[in-house]
Amino acid sequence: MTEKEKMIAGLLYCADDAELVEARKTARLVFEEYNKTSITNIERRTKLIKQLFGKTGKNIYIEPSFKCDYGFNIEVGENFYANFDCVFLDVCKISIGDNCFVAAQVAICTATHPIAAKERSSGVEYGKPVAIGNDCWIGAHATINPGVTLGNGVVVGSGSVVTKNFGDNVVIAGNPARVIREIDNGRT
């Protein structure tokens, strides 16, 4: 397997691999241009983000600045919105459903490192995919950690650190995040 194939599969890989270094450089060139493109040129911004991401819905809008590792491992559904200064570390797939909103300064991280110091110091790393269902809202300054799956209709409170999976229609908050309440879709 190539280092890229290992990375996408969630296996230990060497991030200094030439193909991966080039892929990160390519992503940076795209998101740097995206972040500099004027709000008056929405068509260009949309084209750039669709070029960067692996898959998008028709309607997508991300406020600058936005940063990611590769871009090709990010899939977002229809009517996706992300506010200012979000970071998506996509060494593995990040999949986000339809009608999702991501507030300012949210980090979605698939990248992680070995716990053992000797192995970590060797330079290898790995990732765990993140999946977020439809109709989710991630509050400002939240962090979604590697390997997390969130169901449909989940609301993540501002500043939360999400370290485990949660099912549908819950409000979660805290560090680590826990269920605050279930959502009755008939009320706010």
Task: Dihedral sign for Cα 13, 20, 60, 159, please.
Answer: positive
List pLDDT tens digits, range 46-67.
Answer: 999 999 999 999 999 999 999 9
Q: How many whole angstroms separate alpha carbon 78 and alpha carbon 139?
A: 19
Mean pLDDT estimate for the chain: 96
Instruction: Name the pLDDT band for 184 (thresholds 50, 70, 90).
Output: confident
Residue 31 above 60 pLDDT?
Answer: yes
Q: How many whole angstroms separate alpha carbon 70 and alpha carbon 138?
A: 22
Residue 188 above 60 pLDDT?
Answer: no
Whole-prediction pTM value?
Answer: 0.94
What's the confidence (pLDDT) of residue 187? Answer: 61
Catalytic residues: 113
DSSP-derived secondary structure for 72-126: TTEEE-SSEEE-TTEEEE-SS-EEE-SS-EE-TT-EEE-EE--SSHHHHHTTEEE
Closest CA to 140 of 85, 93, 184: 85
Architecture of domain 3-177: 3 Solenoid (2.160)
* Domain range list for the chain: 3-177
